[in-house]
Amino acid sequence: MLLAIDVGNTNTKFAVHDGRAWRGQWRASTDPRRTADEYAPWLSEILALAQLEFKDITACIVSTVVPQALFNLRNLSRRYVNAEPMVIGEDGLNLGIDIRIDKPSEAGADRLVNAVGAFVEYGGPSIVIDSGTATTFDIVAADGAFEGGIILPGINLSLQALHDAAARLPRVEIRDPGHIIGKDTVSAMQSGIYWGSIEMIEGLCRRIKSEYGQPMKTIATGGVASLFEGAFPSIDHFDQDLTSRGLLEVFRRNGGKL
């Protein structure tokens, strides 16, 4: 079985695939100081919920946007899975896609893996929207190439900035308040974040499609995306497994067997 690890700035996702289907997917808060020996008991208990053990896992692949976390996750794979992990972005690992941007080395591992996952499942051209600490819009060409995109602050980051910068603005839950015009501070903030995010994403998708000049599918993923499912006319698919699917495909493209 394959252990696929995707390290984001806020959360780290662990997923296990048995060669036919995903056996489980779990999230933990990202902490680059967490050692392999600290990960192991937590992951062992999580695996047990899916009737799995470390001995069932034979391979590991890691994607991370937090370089400091890689050392401990590499040790986790070596000590507890007894496998040298594949690492997105390291020399010799073939993603199987062209990176058509001015500075290919600057493309984030998560964005490239999402492009692979989106192309395998939905084809191209497409827009992949990943809502996390940052919200990214990535363009996948008809042949699967990564063609750049847009990066902006994520929804939770925007909320945190409001709370930190304005003394009287509280922390609020992200949800549809049921109306556009807020009648108190909380509902005004909720409306601004919820509907503002929707209009921002709808507007950027419209502009991307106009500039690209071809019909494009739109796929949304990431920890926050599920809060908006059904609210976006322009989004064709909500797919929480997209990054894990991309990691599985990269593993297979590099000779991985399950």
Per-position DSSP letters for the chain, written without gaps between them:
-EEEEEE-SSEEEEEEE-SSSEEEEEEEE--TT--HHHHHHHHHHHHHHTT--GGG--EEEEEES-GGGHHHHHHHIIIII-SPPEETTSTT---SS-B-SS-GGGS-HHHHHHHHHHHHHH-SSEEEEEESSEEEEEEE-TTS-EEEEEEEE-HHHHHHHHHHHSTTPPP---S--SSSS-SSHHHHHHHHHHHHHHHHHHHHHHHHHHHH-S--EEEEESTTGGGGTTS-TT--EE-TTHHHHHHHHHHHHTT---
Set 91, 102, 110, 130: catalytic member: 110
Residues 108, 82 within the same domain:
no
- Tokens matching residue 125: 């051209």
Query: Range of 44's domain?
Result: 2-87
Residues 143, 237 within the same domain:
yes
Q: Is 98 contained in some domain?
A: no
Residues 234, 141 within the same domain:
yes
From the list 2, 16, 11, 10, the residue with the least C-alpha distance to 241 is 16
Residue 165 is predicted with a pLDDT of 80
What is the CATH classification number for the domain harbouring 109?
Answer: 3.30.420.40
CA distance 104 to 142: 19
Residues 191, 112 within the same domain:
yes
CA distance 224 to 133: 9
Decide which of 62, 87, 112 is a domain's last residue. 87
Beta bridge partners of 221: 130
Determine phi and psi for 220, rounding to 5 degrees: -110, 140
Catalytic-residue membership of 176: no
| Structural domains in the chain (count) | 2
Per-residue pLDDT of the chain (258 residues; tens, 9 = 90+): 999 999 988 889 999 999 999 999 999 999 999 999 999 999 999 999 999 999 999 999 999 999 999 999 999 999 999 999 999 988 888 899 999 999 998 888 889 999 999 999 999 999 999 988 889 999 999 999 999 999 998 888 888 888 788 777 888 888 888 889 999 888 988 898 888 888 998 999 999 999 999 999 999 998 767 777 777 788 899 898 899 999 999 999 999 888
Residues 108, 208 within the same domain:
yes
Q: Which residues contact 228 (CB under 8 A, 6 or more apart)?
A: 131, 194, 197, 198, 220
Q: Is 252 contained in some domain?
A: no
Residues 207, 173 within the same domain:
yes
Residues 14, 49 within the same domain:
yes
Residues 129, 83 within the same domain:
no
Does the N-terminal peptide bond of residue 125 adopt cis geometry, omega within 30 degrees of 0?
Answer: yes
Residues 111, 219 within the same domain:
yes
pTM exceeds 0.75, yes or no = yes
Residues 63, 127 within the same domain:
no
Decide which of 33, 53, 87 is a domain's last residue. 87
Q: Is 99 contained in some domain?
A: no
